[in-house]
Structure 1
């Protein structure tokens, strides 16, 4: 009898340590991301962008919408560090305030794609059958169009403006989230703990949203981070074509569109907004790559 008791106590230790072991992959992923120089650079760029957007009213030296026709196309100087545009507006101030629009577009557009795409992908992969076929065929239709062309078509129907731009960019991002979530749900729903939840009498939607989706968060987080940079780039492309954010709002794509006529005589009007877009998208891509490598067990030694 004593031997049996010792054996039971010996087996109890690993069971008690099991919850701790479940947390280790998350800590290892975060540690791997922090130790990666590229993901750290991306994180620093994003934090700086957010700080600039939050404190734009304190950092901007001039009113971003107030112009001076006597100061048109002034080159960078002490009065205007990055020069002025075609209406004499300070480019630095417009870039600083433009960061607010870019972050707003990125977060709201990706939020739309995240919510709708995750829901569609989850129910498609979990319930399968005719529902899976119907949802995936709609997703295939959306993916048949190049993203920028689909966004142009949506904005052409809905009209120009910041709100419609965010909606259009969000709709364009739905297929990526739907497919990623569907593939993750398909691999998770056959796990033993899912079968145990079903055997315990849990309802289908409770199993889906309480047990399946939480175990699909890693690819969703990575896709969200990468999609923010893509959304900012798509929104800038729409504004560059005159279909996105309208003047006098200081949006980076609109600034590129307004300055392309003076590219040879005043290149700073185009260079600095282009660099702002480049650095922002690069920051989100670097962070997304770092998250993907951290959550991917195949990259770990």
Structure 2
């Protein structure tokens, strides 16, 4: 995840009354309409998709198993995107998998953002002993393989969506901590922070009123970039079978269950893989736009 940290550069120092940093934006960069449209369609699909076809998430029919897309299965029912090895409708399972991926992307990244931002703010503003202790803990968290944490949590707790939330949050928070700490180390030497100290503001008040608003653009950019990473993490965890329970659909578990039929039933792995690709690329494109939008040093690209 270090490449995500490098992708978000700290804002240039330009203090003003109130403690916020503004960047001049003479022009406006065109919104990434295509990625935004893909994300909107995936969201709508996740919300209303299961209601469009009268099949349950785990409802199968062995006579209709392995029906190709846009065909009628052996059970006499039409399946838009085909069926899997147990006769379960792919369209419905993709919709439920979209719910899981988008929910994990939002909630897992929010949890990582909360933990990492607090660690970064405290490490940057407090004394060197606290800074050293927090950063050594961050280094230890970065050195542990991510999937190892997910497998450990799955072996301790019952596989559930909450376990996936916690796994994603624990895997992604160190990136926020390192980024925010670097920005706070620059900002705490600014004039508006010095004036706030002279005025008698407490450390907590300086963090909330002066530091947090200035690092918020970088938090937004990194969070947008990491939603795509969270989708990949969730798919990887589910692919290994340590994410959701076996009866729950997710894109990663669909690929895992269909890989032994790749030579004969390509849609079992190709369609979920395409959805993962579209989701990750769309969130990455949106994050790249946000990075250029909030970085004052990239004005020429807007």
Which band: TM-score by shorter chain?
0.7 to 0.9
Distance 1:65 1:231 in 2: 25
Equivalence for 1:44:
37
C-alpha distance 299-60 of structure 1, shift in aligned 2 (>3 A) = farther
- CA drift of 1:199 comes to 1.2
Q: Secondary structure at the match of 1:75?
A: coil
Distance 2:38 2:84 in 1: 26
Equivalence for 2:203:
204
Q: Which has the larger radius of gyration?
A: 1
Distance 1:26 1:114 in 2: 27
- CA drift of 1:27 comes to 6.7
Distance 2:198 2:227 in 1: 39
- CA drift of 1:128 comes to 3.3
Distance 1:141 1:24 in 2: 35
Q: Deviations over 1:3-61 (max 9, x none)?
A: xxxxxxxxxxxxxxx89xx89748768x32xx15xx33222221222222222343345
Distance 2:24 2:259 in 1: 47
Report the TM-score, using the length of structure 1 for normalisation: 0.86
Equivalence for 1:55:
48
Report the TM-score, using the length of structure 2 for normalisation: 0.86
Distance 1:293 1:98 in 2: 31
Q: Is the 8 A contact 1:60 1:96 kept in 2?
A: no
Q: Which moved more, 1:73-82 or 1:58-67?
A: 58-67
Q: Deviations over 1:61-98 (max 9, x none)?
A: 53332111100101112521211001111101111121
Superposed, which structure 2 residues align to 1:115-194 within 5 Å? 115-194=114-193
Q: Is the 8 A contact 1:60 1:97 kept in 2?
A: no
C-alpha distance 219-60 of structure 1, shift in aligned 2 (>3 A) = farther
Unaligned runs of 5+ in 2: 1-15, 72-77
Q: Is the 8 A contact 2:24 2:296 kept in 1?
A: no
C-alpha distance 45-23 of structure 1, shift in aligned 2 (>3 A) = farther
C-alpha distance 40-128 of structure 1, shift in aligned 2 (>3 A) = farther
Q: Is the 8 A contact 1:233 1:277 kept in 2?
A: yes
Equivalence for 1:94:
93
Equivalence for 2:64:
71
Q: Is the 8 A contact 1:139 1:175 kept in 2?
A: yes
Distance 1:241 1:147 in 2: 13
Equivalence for 2:4:
none
C-alpha distance 27-152 of structure 1, shift in aligned 2 (>3 A) = farther
Q: Which moved more, 1:220-229 or 1:61-70?
A: 61-70
Q: CA RMSD in A?
A: 2.0
Q: Is the 8 A contact 1:239 1:254 kept in 2?
A: yes
Equivalence for 1:219:
218
C-alpha distance 106-60 of structure 1, shift in aligned 2 (>3 A) = farther
Distance 1:126 1:49 in 2: 40
C-alpha distance 102-216 of structure 1, shift in aligned 2 (>3 A) = same
Equivalence for 2:241:
242
Q: Deviations over 1:199-251 (max 9, x none)?
A: 11111100111111111111100111111111111111011011111222111
Q: Is the 8 A contact 1:103 1:232 kept in 2?
A: yes
Distance 2:293 2:35 in 1: 14
Distance 2:56 2:91 in 1: 10
C-alpha distance 194-23 of structure 1, shift in aligned 2 (>3 A) = closer
Unaligned runs of 5+ in 1: 1-17
Q: Secondary structure at the match of 2:79?
A: coil
